[in-house]
A = this chain, B = another copy of it.
Amino acid sequence: MAELIVDIVGSCAATLTTVAFLPQTIRIFRTKDTAAISLAMYLTFSTGVLCWLFYGLMLVSWPIIIANVITFGLCCAILAMKLRDVLRRRVAK
């Protein structure tokens, strides 16, 4: 029973911290506004998620692999939109 509760809480945690990046991705996609977004955050976070992905692959843990593939995809989309704005601003200067 205790093990089941631990598994449920872990699954909720993984699902929430994965889907959380979806509203941020949608918001930037709609508004095209990335001014307040930290490039350093998404560079660091994406690298961390890539490490989690390798970790999951080494342990052959499908929940870790799937959650981190989705998070990595969403973070890369945010990172790409932020980088586009940073580069545009540099070209405009």
Number of residues in A with C-beta < 8 Å to the partner?
42
- Of B16, B47, B48, B54, the residue contacting A44 (CB under 8 A) is B16
- Of B16, B22, B35, B44, the residue contacting A23 (CB under 8 A) is B44
Q: Is the pair A31, B41 in contact by a Cβ cutoff of 8 Å?
A: no
Contact with B along A73-92 (1 / 0, CB 8 A): 00000000000000000000
In A13-63, the 8 Å CB interface with B consists of: 13-24, 26-28, 31, 33-38, 40-42, 44-45, 47-49, 51-52, 54-55, 58-59
- Where the two chains meet, the residues of A that have a C-beta atom closer than 8 Å to any C-beta of B are 2, 5-6, 9-10, 12-24, 26-28, 31, 33-38, 40-42, 44-45, 47-49, 51-52, 54-55, 58-59
